A and B are shown apart, each in its own frame.
Chain A
Amino acid sequence: MHHRLSKVLLALPPAAYLVVFFAVPSLLMLLASFRYPGEYGGLAPWYYIDDGQLSLDLTTENWLRLVESTIYLGLLLKSLGFALLTTLICALMAYPLALTIARSPKRHRDLLLLLVILPFWSNFLVRIYAWMIIFSPQGALSEGLNAVTGLLGLEPVNLMFSSTAVIVCLVYVHLPFMILPLYANLEKHDPALLDAAQDLGANARQRFWKITWPLSLPGIYAGGVLVFIPSLGIFAIPDLLGGTNGIMIGNVIKQQFVEARDWPFGSVLSLVLTAITLMLVAIAGRFGRPKGTANG
């Protein structure tokens, strides 16, 4: 019947587009990670023809460079730590807010949620820039803080260009990703469970830890992945707020592709990031709710 034909007609254009502009680029990056860097940046040819005979010119050097280096592995570890810390702080901040929204009257919920989403829709760079102002040495926050440290006879602190600045901004940018799935989870809890627990003599703390908390874990996992993955790959925030101390793996990837022009090694680092992402998505698919409903 025409069913098969319509299937092809529907799926073909977007599928072809994404093969060309998503699947092929990913494969090219995989290939690039085994190629030699070109003399003037870019890539050296991956094969040569000698006496009509085709020979491959590939290497595992780039991968060995990663495994043998302490700098890059350390940086990867540090980035994982930053992303983990960001995720934990996000969870800690998101929980009370998500709970408040979920327990507020139905007619207020949409507005309260919109207020969470609104700042998240403003431009990513604008949100980083806001923190550049707040952390600047002439800013009220730095001056206030240093007035206190001055009174205590401590060294003045510089908030700008520090790991702290990076983490605060990472939290700021990704917080809605935690609040929304957590709210979606908390909103579905049956209030009768809490009533029953109260009738059976459980106090507020027990009701939270024995009922609300365990039920909300899938929401935390889902939000955790949505915060962790983008935090891990970020380069603009460390670039603008981190100075030399706050640098993350994304900065090195950017550097390899834009400044050092060592694409093979940049590809290796990107693939490691891809592998971590895929692993996390797979794990989240197991614990959290169905994937694909909670992005963006």
Chain B
Amino acid sequence: MSNKIIEAFARLRKKRLSPEHSIPLRIATLLTVLCGIIATLSQEEWPGLSILVIAGTIAGFFVSWIRREKNNWWIKLILAILMCWAFIDFMSNLLKNVYDPRIPLSYLLLWLQTLHSFDLPARRDLNYSLWTAFILMCVAGSLSSNMTYGVFLIFFILCSTFALFYNYLSAVEAKARVALNVSWRSVTGTILKTAAILLIIGGIVYLFIPRFHGLKIRPLPVSLQLRLFGMGDGQIKNPYYPYSNQLITRAFDFNSDAYYGLTSYLDLNMRGKLNRNVVIKMRSTEPAYLRGVVFDYYNGAGWQITDTKPQSISSENPPISLNLAYPGFNEVVQIFYIEREMPNIIFAAYQPSQLYFPTNTIYYDRNMGLLSPVPLDKGTIYSIISFTSNMPDYKIRKLAMKKNILPWNEASHYLQLPPISEKVRKLALDITKNYDNDYTKAMAVCLYLQNHYPYDLDVPPFPKNMETTEYFLFEQKRGYCEHFASTMAVLLRTLGIPSRLITGFTSGVYNPITGYYEIRNSDAHAWVEVFFSGVGWISFDPTPGWNSLPYAGNEEQSPWMISAIINYIKEKIPPEITESLKKGWQAFIKYLRTFAARFEILDLNGKIIALSAIFLALFSITVFIFYLLLRTKRYGLRIAEFVRKLQNLPIKLSNGFGKPQLKAAGPRFLIWQIYYKMLKDLVTIGFNKLPAQTPKEFADSAALKLGWEEIYILTGQFEEARYSCHKIDETRLNESRELWKNLNEKIKMKKKNGNK
């Protein structure tokens, strides 16, 4: 038995891989690993850990190099113990918050990479290091929410290309048992080219990678749990507007850093431009408006919330489940990453159903506005599953055919109005006179406001003696989102259609590279919710330039990344330029149609004509580029040679007619051609120049026998062209051609007479 054990150990020892001696491979692997480590460390603030991990990795690689040929059993033992400790630490951190394992996982991977770097004797171990570096880059990518990760990624690609190249070089050297002295210059050139090609291929694959709806696997991420049973009073607390509960009576200054609509009172006379600071980053299965505060009481100058005592709901562990008041048809999963301090409003698409929140208690009012017991600090993460009424227009129209029926106590909230001018009421009736359905009426009002009143942020304050809606509709005739939303809500209420005003944010701009929706202060918005029996509350957006039905109008997103990138670029281009491009394209199509009509080209689609014109333009550009390339030395010569061959093709084809084949070359070369042609033709009449004969000797013998002095003269001209440095010009060439012509005639005659 003991012999068998000894034999087994002996076999294991024999199996030990040979150590890797290549220094460039180790350096490249170290750089790749450091890139992965630094990319991960830069996503969070870990100063102490950063120094330890980076220094430890460098030290580990050095120790591995020094001890690569030794039996390091004691190092392996220590590493195994430390790895067990790291794993236990990971588990304990994970148990503290199972809903966000990314940070504990990052910790664990960093420690594993650092510890593993002390035991890298063979090439296979260095390969494992590369793979863990790659996993670290993936973890860093999942943590990253900005574009700086791209810089790390480029460095990683460069370093890993080096490492993979040297890895392969080392492997083939070991197989062939040779050591190549590869020069740094050639290696660097090859690797840079490879990295560039890799980026191009990777970029093309990325453009066409499919995007499916995700966020299917639950539970969803949420930041560390705060056990706050019973804390908070359910009131809105906005740190940028500290006296928000006194806003009705107390004037306050506009703060460009925060939206004033996220308070308990919305003053329609507040003026100012919000800045473009990012406030929230969101992952979402689809774009959706984020509800913040729901206002249901209008006092003529602003809106306020009537439900001042919201109810609380608690859950021991996430999620907090909320009852859906009305049926929802489309599940939207959203994860929010708070980028700066925000009011204690829980933003979500309407209607929220399940909430993964750091506190186990939240508040909700009659209008399903959600409030957190504590303000949302930077770094807070929460997730929500909502069900939107994402129905097509015709369906809503059909379901909303019935007359609205709301309980009297509820209806009074959403039909409340202060004293309103008759002009306003009359206008509402005028707009909706042709419609009998509440839904169509609401849509008519929405479209009327969108089409008849322009959007303008720079409007002066409304006079205090006039009701806001009347002033907006008949005096000012322009405004921004709150004015439009408030006006629509008032108009609908005058028609007896329940409505309320919502403030919050739009879905922001989707960055396809990071995968986040970036919501800025300037994305703050106001819209209207209207009640229809059988359907529930449907959102309308009467602001010009926005979709009338913000939830129902979500188009089916294209499954390809390239579409998302094009949309992102479109978002980045100023709207003036986009508008100009659009107008220009339409004008171009119109012109082509007119042009086609002039020539009676019937039934041609303007777009086809446009595409043909574009094709022609592209062709012309290609020809022009071709011409430019011809003028460059490198490509021009090759293209010129190709063109020359094409030019000579007809001459070659006419060879069968016995015409002399003369290339476009210098006179000296052409005289040689003529001489060789002469020799070839003389063979056909039995005069073969022997290899040992000089041209003169052959000329003497042939000319003497045939009596043709052309042979003699041509031979002399050949010798001069071939061996002398005399200048050979066109005159001499023409003489040779003349002689050749005469000789050719004589040869033909001789052949005809049968070589007599």
Are A and B associated in one complex?
Answer: no
Q: Which residues of B contact A (CB under 8 A)?
A: none
Q: Which residues of A contact B (CB under 8 A)?
A: none
